[in-house]
Structure 1
Amino acid sequence: MSHISRWKRFAIVSSLSIFALTAAASSQAVAVGKTITAVMHSDLRTIDPGFTTAYITRDHGYMIYDTLLATDANFKIQPQMADWKVSDDKLTYTFTLRDGLKWHDGTPVTAEDCVASLKRWGKNDNMGQKLMDFTASIEATDAKTITLKLKEPYGLVLESIGKPSSYVPFMMPKRLAETPPGQQIPEQIGSGPFKFVKAEFQPGVKAVYEKNTDYVPRKEPASWTAGGKVVKV
């Protein structure tokens, strides 16, 4: 089996896994009202998606976190939390956060939060480490703008930041992203379509999520990890 074939097979399996609960919510909303109960493919025990490569933890991450960029069903990188532009010399990437982004605690998502999140991810993930090797600087130039400058051109900047597999570069508040990569984050605060109800979490037994009523999905149709994530419960 070729590398591309293996990757496509992984993509299909991953997409089914990532959106299993969302699909269940969509198809069963009328029948069961506002609560969906689903049996996932594995037990959720570790809830920091930056601490383990377990698929179930990655899937949990997609419920509560969001990413700057995302990969669509055609394996193309798309804007998610941010749009981007690239300088003519391919050395400067500028990411601009879209309007209306809030963390689950009600505070606005800032570029500083995202810079800290990328730096934490870049210490654990192989693609992130390679990207950081090519990076001269990454900083918040204002509340909504992230500027990444390279030492030399690198062709996988967008593919790294928009990668769909573990470790996924999920965004989180700076205070959590500054947790050392060898430790698990103490809270699960994201900006994604669901909030994690930690008080009801029983490792390996039960995980509960509630709709994030402040979440503003993108207007584009959902396509794998890209596009609008519309909650139907």
Structure 2
Amino acid sequence: MRACAIRLLWALAIGLCLTAAVEAKTLRWAARGDTQSMDPHAVNEGVTNNINNLVYDFLVERDRDLNLVPALATGWTAVNDTTWRFALRRGVKFQDGTPLTADDVVFSIERAQQPTSQLSQFALPMGKPVRIDEQTVEFRLERPNPLMLEHAAAILIMSRAWCIAHRVDRVPAFNSHEEAFSSRNAMGTGPFMLKQREAGVRTVLVRNPQWWGRFEGNVTEVIFMPIGNDSTRVAALQSGGVDLIQDAPPQDLLRLSRDPSVRLTSGPENRVIFLGLDQFRDQLLYSSVKGRNPLKDRRVREAFFHAIDVHALKKSIMREQSVPTACMTVAARGCKPAAELEVHPPADVARARCLMADAGYADGFELTIDCPNDRYVNDQAICVALVGMLGRIGVTLRVDARPKSIFFPKVQNFDTSFYMYGWGGATIDPQLTMDPLMHSPDAKSQKGGDNNGRIADAELDRLIDAAAAEMNLEKRTQLLRDTLTRVHDQYYYLPLHRQMLTWLSRANVRPVILPSNQVRVAWIQID
């Protein structure tokens, strides 16, 4: 009898093990480039943010329609125009078992407000965080902030005790190539825990069994791998070595749509791809022009705008997987305050040549454009196409294309005269584009943190700052319109297009595509 009982227990144990093995699902996910840091406040870059969003949580997050919903905060109240109070979710634990408290939130916001944080431009408008009790945090602002919840959805919450124990209470300066314990390790409250980090090779995450949220999918492990070559990445998917690719090569989409082993999931992305220009130096870097900076001249910037054929880029480079725009916002809805700017006119080379001649550059000049080669869809190919387009107005363009790990620090340290950039995310409010890209660099507010061409326009700053504090919707809409119109009319940036998203996955993988291009692994089902 005892032997039978033992055999029965062994059979049950084996059955449970087999059931667990069947239920365990690994998602092998490949992208063109790697995450830049596991520190959630060090780097503001899409892939990096996505991986960190799996380990850490926000006070406020987004649902499938990108609406703001409770996360670590279950509710919030605007006590008045300059005071907000957030109630924290009870029972939440960090992955080491320590409870989340108001002290962690205060610490995280203050940490993200440091000058070395690339998220400081979003954390600073949240004001001074104050602990009211263990489950309540109050934010005391210097001025009204109509985007308080948008900013709360941009800052991930860390463990104060963990950061202090590992001496990472200061954010490592990514642009100065600083590394810290938090660059390679992580401790959050999110749906997944960091198991292994090999920079440039793989990042392995496993499901957090004590996550406060609900898993709608069945993924229990994530293996994220950077595969820079498009053909190699697609071949890995078709052979079964990879389950998901976000950045599908547009030229391969028709062929892949006929492959029954591959699923295509498509939608528009909230991201604008544009060109930035050095409008600060008196003499350009990497240019044949000496003693002058032609990009300070509005006529030269306008000439570039009219010489570039964004519609040809859409057809020949992007294979119809882009939407040309002349508006510097991440989504067409975000440009609504200045909808007349949305349509990008056809190229006008004759007009561009006249503008160059009027500015004194009829014979053109030499210039280098800095581009990433592993960040945006066909980024290097777009830059190469610009060589011929700008060559029609006498500009001899050299392309310096580098991996994003080199490109971003180079450009953000102002070691550039002309560069490609992209900006996007879940929010469509123009303010979150205007503050970092269009405002002159400001040490106190940390606005202008990605104004790598160092645009300086006092009237533009006034409009941006006014919109950031205006609580009246009608007045604020007009300020947004005036700001976007001024940027357009001065050609401070040269918008190209918004990318269309197509994710590739194995046929048995069902992802949920979002305009933010963020992979929410907790929602993915693998059949």
2:193 is the alignment partner of 1:195: yes
How far apart are residue 118 of structure 1 and its match? 1.0
What is the match of residue 179 of structure 1?
A: 169
Tell me, yes or no, if the aligned pair for 2:58 and 2:72 is still in contact at 8 Å: yes
Cα distance in 2 for partners of 1:78, 1:66 equals: 12
Paired letter, 1:174: R
Alpha-carbon spacing, 1:79–1:170, altered in 2? closer, same or farther (3 Å): same
Tell me, yes or no, if the aligned pair for 2:95 and 2:193 is still in contact at 8 Å: yes
Which residue, out of 196, 207, 210, partners 1:211?
A: 207
Tell me, yes or no, if the aligned pair for 1:179 and 1:185 is still in contact at 8 Å: no
TM-score when normalising by structure 2: 0.33
How far apart are residue 202 of structure 1 and its match? 1.2
Q: Percent of aligned pairs with the same residue?
A: 25
Unpaired runs of 5+ residues, structure 1, are: 1-28, 164-168
Tell me, yes or no, if the aligned pair for 1:217 and 1:228 is still in contact at 8 Å: no
Counterpart mapping for 1:104-115 below 5 A: 104-115=95-106
Alpha-carbon spacing, 1:156–1:116, altered in 2? closer, same or farther (3 Å): same
How far apart are residue 77 of structure 1 and its match? 2.1
2:137 is the alignment partner of 1:128: no
Alignment partner of 1:116: what SS? Answer: helix
Paired letter, 1:207: T
After superposition, give the CA deviation of every residue in 1:180-211 in whole Å (9 maximum; x if it has no partner): 123545340000011101xx321110111111
2:134 is the alignment partner of 1:143: yes
After superposition, give the CA deviation of every residue in 1:122-145 in whole Å (9 maximum; x if it has no partner): 23325325405xx2x321111111
Which residue, out of 56, 60, 83, partners 1:92?
A: 83
Cα distance in 1 for partners of 2:23, 2:65 equals: 33
Counterpart mapping for 1:75-90 below 5 A: 75-90=66-81
Tell me, yes or no, if the aligned pair for 1:69 and 1:79 is still in contact at 8 Å: yes
Tell me, yes or no, if the aligned pair for 1:64 and 1:194 is still in contact at 8 Å: yes
Q: Which has the higher contact order (CA 8 A, sep 6+)?
A: 1
Tell me, yes or no, if the aligned pair for 2:215 and 2:522 is still in contact at 8 Å: no
Alignment partner of 1:37: what SS? Answer: strand
Hey, which bits of structure 1, 4+ residues long, moved more than 4 A?
A: 29-32, 222-225, 227-233
Cα distance in 2 for partners of 1:209, 1:148 equals: 33
Alpha-carbon spacing, 1:218–1:91, altered in 2? closer, same or farther (3 Å): farther
Paired letter, 2:112: W
How far apart are residue 219 of structure 1 and its match? 9.5
Tell me, yes or no, if the aligned pair for 1:218 and 1:228 is still in contact at 8 Å: no
Cα distance in 2 for partners of 1:130, 1:143 equals: 23
Q: Over alpha carbons, which structure has the higher Rg?
A: 2
Alignment partner of 1:208: what SS? Answer: strand
Tell me, yes or no, if the aligned pair for 2:74 and 2:88 is still in contact at 8 Å: yes
Tell me, yes or no, if the aligned pair for 1:217 and 1:229 is still in contact at 8 Å: no
Cα distance in 1 for partners of 2:201, 2:215 equals: 35
Paired letter, 2:58: T
How far apart are residue 119 of structure 1 and its match? 1.2
Which residue, out of 158, 165, 170, partners 2:156?
A: 170
Between Structure 1 and Structure 2, the one with more helix by share is: 2
TM-score when normalising by structure 1: 0.70
Alpha-carbon spacing, 1:71–1:37, altered in 2? closer, same or farther (3 Å): closer
Cα distance in 2 for partners of 1:162, 1:73 equals: 14
Alignment partner of 2:200: what SS? Answer: coil
What is the match of residue 60 of structure 2?
A: 69
Count of matched residue pairs:
194
